C-alpha cells in the first residue's frame, strides 16, 4: 500500500470520490462502508457503478474485502470508446450518467455509452433533466461538437426499468475558463411530460395543470408530451414532468417530478404532479444562479479542471452535496474556491442569496487523448 493515496470513511459520496480519483490519478481507499449495518458493505448499485468505471478505464485495480466494507481503487487510464452497461434498477440511469458527464471529455477516444435500466425515478436526476441542463453547462466550457448528445431510445420507469439511453461525448484536450456571473431574466420555459404504459391523456393533464401556474408569469411556455408505446415503453407504468427555464444569457434552471413507482406508497394524480413540479421550478428560479442546484458540482469540477486562468460562476445557495464536493476537490486537486455571498436588494426581485464562486483552474490537460 503506497501512502500517497487518500483515505475516507463511510458510504456517502462514493461517486464523487471515485470520479475525482479517476481524473486526478490518485489512489483512494474507503473504509467502514456501512460497517454497522445489518447488511454491511457496498450495495448492488454501487458495485454496479464500480463495474461501469472499470469498463471505461484501462489498468485500474479495484480491491474489495470479503464483507464489502473496504474499497481500494487505483485509477487507470480513462479509455472510453464504445461501452454497453446494464445499470442496477435500484437507482436510475441518471446516477451513472452524472459520473459519465464528468469523465466523458477526458477519455482517450470519444465515448459512446449505451446504458440500460430505469430512465426516470424519484431520487436521481432523470435523463431528460441531464439532457436539458447538464449538456448546456458543459457547452459553456467548450465541450461540444457533433457527437455531444444524450438520446433516450426507450423509457423505463421504476421499479421495472427496461429503458435505454445512448450518451455520446467528444474528447477535449483542455477545458476553457468561464465567466458566468449574470444569468439574466427568464425568457422561456420548455418541458417534457412523459407517460408510459398509462393513458396518453395523462400527459395532457400534467401539461394543463403546470401551465395553470406558470402562465401567470410568462406566456412563452411550451411543454411537449412524450408518450412511448410498445417495446420502447419499458416494463413499468408511470408518468412525469421535466421543466426547464431558460434565461436571456442562456442559463438553464430546471425542476422535475415523477409518479410514485408501481406498488410503492400512495399514487399521485397527474394534476397534482404538474402543479407541484411548476412550484418546484419557481423555487429553483428563486434560488437562481447561472447553474441550477443539480448541476452545481459539475460546473465546479469543470472550473477546477480549466486552464490556469480565473473562472467565475454565480450559483444559488450551495446544496450539501456540493459543499462536500468542494472539500473533495480540495483533497484531490488542492484547489480552494473563493466564495462570496451576494445578497440581492429587496426591490431587485432577484430571488434568494447568491454565491459567487471564483477559482484558478489547475490547467488539467487530457494526456490520454490520441493525437490525430
Q: What pLDDT is recorded for position 146?
A: 81
Q: What is the pLDDT of residues 159-195, one digit of tens each?
A: 999 999 999 999 998 899 999 999 999 999 999 999 9
Q: What pLDDT is recorded for position 1?
A: 42
User: Does residue 372 surpass a pLDDT of 60?
Assistant: no
* Alpha carbon distance 20, 27 (integer Å): 10
In terms of pLDDT, which residue wins out, 363 or 370?
363
User: Does residue 350 surpass a pLDDT of 80?
Assistant: no
Query: What percentage of residues in the chain have a pLDDT greater than 90?
Result: 83
Q: What is the pLDDT of residues 105-163, one digit of tens each?
A: 999 999 999 999 999 999 999 999 999 999 999 999 999 878 899 999 999 998 999 99
pTM of the model: 0.93
> For the residues 49-59, what does the mean pLDDT come to?
94
Q: Are 234 and 155 in contact (CB under 8 A)?
A: yes
Place 23 in a pLDDT band, splitting at 50, 70 and 90.
very high
* Alpha carbon distance 201, 308 (integer Å): 53
Distances (CA, A) of 33 to 14, 19, 37, 64, 89: 10, 18, 9, 11, 21
User: Does residue 68 surpass a pLDDT of 50?
Assistant: yes
Q: What pLDDT is recorded for position 262?
A: 86
**Average model confidence (pLDDT) for the chain?**
92
User: Does residue 33 surpass a pLDDT of 70?
Assistant: yes
* Alpha carbon distance 176, 171 (integer Å): 13
User: Does residue 370 surpass a pLDDT of 80?
Assistant: no
* Alpha carbon distance 161, 88 (integer Å): 9
Q: What pLDDT is recorded for position 371?
A: 65
Place 314 in a pLDDT band, splitting at 50, 70 and 90.
very high
Q: What pLDDT is recorded for position 240?
A: 96
Query: What percentage of residues in the chain have a pLDDT greater than 70?
Result: 98
> For the residues 332-348, what does the mean pLDDT come to?
88
Amino acid at each position: 500500500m503506497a501512502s500517497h493515496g487518500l483515505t475516507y470513511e463511510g458510504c456517502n459520496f462514493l461517486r464523487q470520490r471515485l470520479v475525482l480519483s479517476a481524473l486526478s490519478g490518485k489512489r483512494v481507499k474507503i473504509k467502514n462502508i456501512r460497517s454497522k449495518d445489518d447488511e454491511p458493505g457496498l450495495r448492488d448499485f454501487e458495485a454496479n457503478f464500480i463495474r461501469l468505471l472499470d469498463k471505461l478505464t484501462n489498468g485500474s485495480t479495484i480491491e474489495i474485502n470479503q464483507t464489502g466494507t473496504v474499497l481500494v481503487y487505483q485509477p487507470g487510464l480513462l479509455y472510453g470508446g464504445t461501452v454497453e452497461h446494464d445499470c442496477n434498477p435500484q437507482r436510475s440511469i441518471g446516477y451513472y450518467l452524472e459520473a459519465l458527464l464528468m469523465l466523458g471529455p477526458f477519455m482517450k477516444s470519444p465515448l459512446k455509452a449505451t446504458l440500460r435500466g430505469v430512465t426516470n425515478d424519484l431520487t436521481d436526476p432523470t435523463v431528460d433533466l441531464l439532457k436539458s441542463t447538464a449538456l448546456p453547462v458543459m457547452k459553456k466550457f467548450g465541450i461540444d461538437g457533433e457527437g455531444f448528445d444524450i438520446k433516450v431510445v426507450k423509457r423505463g420507469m421504476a421499479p421495472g426499468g427496461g429503458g435505454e439511453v445512448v450518451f455520446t461525448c467528444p474528447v477535449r484536450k483542455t477545458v476553457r475558463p468561464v465567466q458566468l456571473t449574470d444569468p439574466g431574466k427568464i425568457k422561456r420555459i420548455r418541458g417534457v411530460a412523459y407517460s408510459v404504459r398509462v393513458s396518453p391523456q395523462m400527459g395532457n393533464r400534467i401539461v394543463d395543470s403546470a401551465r395553470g401556474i406558470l402562465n401567470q408569469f410568462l406566456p412563452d411556455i411550451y411543454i411537449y408530451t412524450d408518450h412511448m408505446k410498445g417495446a420502447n415503453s419499458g416494463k413499468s407504468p408511470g408518468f412525469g414532468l421535466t421543466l426547464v427555464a431558460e434565461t436571456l444569457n442562456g442559463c438553464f434552471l430546471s425542476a422535475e417530478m415523477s409518479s410514485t413507482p408501481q406498488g410503492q406508497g400512495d399514487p399521485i394524480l397527474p394534476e397534482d404532479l404538474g402543479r407541484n413540479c411548476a412550484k418546484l421550478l419557481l423555487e429553483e428560479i428563486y434560488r437562481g444562479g447561472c447553474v441550477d442546484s443539480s448541476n452545481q458540482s459539475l460546473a465546479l469540477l469543470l472550473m477546477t479542471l480549466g486552464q490556469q486562468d480565473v473562472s467565475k460562476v454565480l450559483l444559488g445557495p450551495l446544496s450539501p452535496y456540493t459543499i462536500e464536493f468542494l472539500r473533495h476537490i480540495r483533497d484531490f486537486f488542492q484547489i480552494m474556491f473563493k466564495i462570496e455571498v451576494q445578497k440581492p436588494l429587496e426591490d431587485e426581485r432577484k430571488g434568494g442569496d447568491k454565491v459567487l464562486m471564483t477559482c484558478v483552474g489547475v490547467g488539467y490537460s487530457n494526456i490520454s487523448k490520441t493525437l490525430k
